[in-house]
Amino acid sequence: MKNFHKSSGHNFHILVVEDDELIRDMIKQNVENAGYECTIAESGVDALKILDEGKKNVDVILTDIRMPGLNGIELTMKVKDKHDSDVIVMTGFAEDFTYEKVIESGASDFFQKPINSRELMLRLKRVLKERILFAERNQADAELKQSFEKLRRAQNQTVVALASASEIRDPYTSGHQQRVTKLACSIAENMDLSENLIEGLRIAGLLHDIGKISVPAEILSKPGKITQDEYNIIKQHCQIGYEILKGIEFPWPVAQIVLQHHEKMNGSGYPLGLTGEEILLEARILTVADVIEAMSSHRPYRPGLGIDKALDEVINNKSTFFDPVVVDTCWDLFSSGKFKFE
């Protein structure tokens, strides 16, 4: 990648590599008359020494092909391997090297001797202009990447804040969303799903119970058995979570995943009664992870039932309630010791 360090209007540094003193001096004079700084080298070996010393950044190298010790093609290849200078190759023996071979070596341009001063400067200015454009594009790409990273961090901070808001009202399930997310993402990884899908699943997992912010705290923390009316209120958290999230322009269907995370394969779930592949794959994964975490953890109305009973629940209801591939993957994670809740 070209590490172009000058802005338009500043001097450029040109290195002329030519074993013929008359030609070398003529090129140097043309380069300096154009307002550029110029350094000369009598051979490719000398040129590499100048570059390796790094006392001055060299923007463009003008080099002959036929030189003792290290020819122009070999010099070009070494330059492109270690340095970011552009190379323009000159030769009076065009039959020895085709244009394609010179460009393939890494050169930015190629022309034949005898040198026409006007052509030389036109080619040099074109290469310098391309360096400017290349550097500006790299800078724009870097600024865009920086902006994206800043936006991503802000998004993650917002997601964590929203997740924390719902857990404050339900202290008994503090950490539930994080643990569900960790298991769901592990299942997705072991299903060889894409990084992009897993990232969307991670966001949805952290927010899947955000709708519980609307459920009265006395219901969430009730120590005894809840009534049907209270259960109906709790069930509304999927729809409310969807309403909270649907206006946020995530690059993933986060709101839909949150809406569907209590759906069942046979249509007995809520709130829409979806079946099979009508349910998003991310929601099918989240459903299994949610059940495993909820059953194995302590709740106000019962002690934790443990991982074994939780796994039995999803295995016994595989295909009926839960996606069989998701269940099998989950079982493999726990039985092999690849995953455990901390």
User: Any idea what the Cα angle at residue 109 is, between residues 105 and 112, rounded to 5°?
Assistant: 105
Q: From the CB of residue 107, how many other CB atoms can be counted at a distance below 10 Å? A: 26
Cβ–Cβ under 8 Å, residues 79 and 87: yes
Domain locations along the chain: 13-135, 169-335
Cβ–Cβ under 8 Å, residues 263 and 273: yes
List pLDDT tens digits, range 105-150.
888 888 888 888 899 899 999 999 998 898 888 888 888 888 778 7
pLDDT along the chain (342 residues), means of 10: 46 92 92 93 93 88 89 90 91 68 84 86 92 88 81 75 72 78 97 96 93 84 84 93 91 96 97 97 98 83 79 95 97 93 82
Q: For residues 314 and 323, what is the distance between their CA atoms, to the nearest angstrom?
A: 9
Q: For residues 50 and 317, what is the distance between their CA atoms, to the nearest angstrom?
A: 73
The pLDDT value given to residue 304 = 67
Cβ–Cβ under 8 Å, residues 76 and 105: yes
Cβ–Cβ under 8 Å, residues 276 and 263: no
May I ask the CATH class of domain 13-135? alpha beta
Taking alpha carbons only, the member of 206, 209, 210, 226 closest to residue 218 is 226
Q: For residues 297 and 283, what is the distance between their CA atoms, to the nearest angstrom?
A: 21
The pLDDT value given to residue 69 = 85
Q: If you write DSSP's letter for every residue of 67-129 in order, what string do you get?
A: -SSS-HHHHHHHHHHH---EEEEEES-TTTS-HHHHHHTT-SEEEESSPPHHHHHHHHHHHHH
3-state secondary structure at position 227: coil
Q: From the CB of residue 278, how many other CB atoms can be counted at a distance below 10 Å? A: 13
3-state secondary structure at position 50: helix
The pLDDT value given to residue 1 = 44
May I ask the CATH class of domain 169-335? mainly alpha
CA 243 to chain centroid, in Å, comes to 29
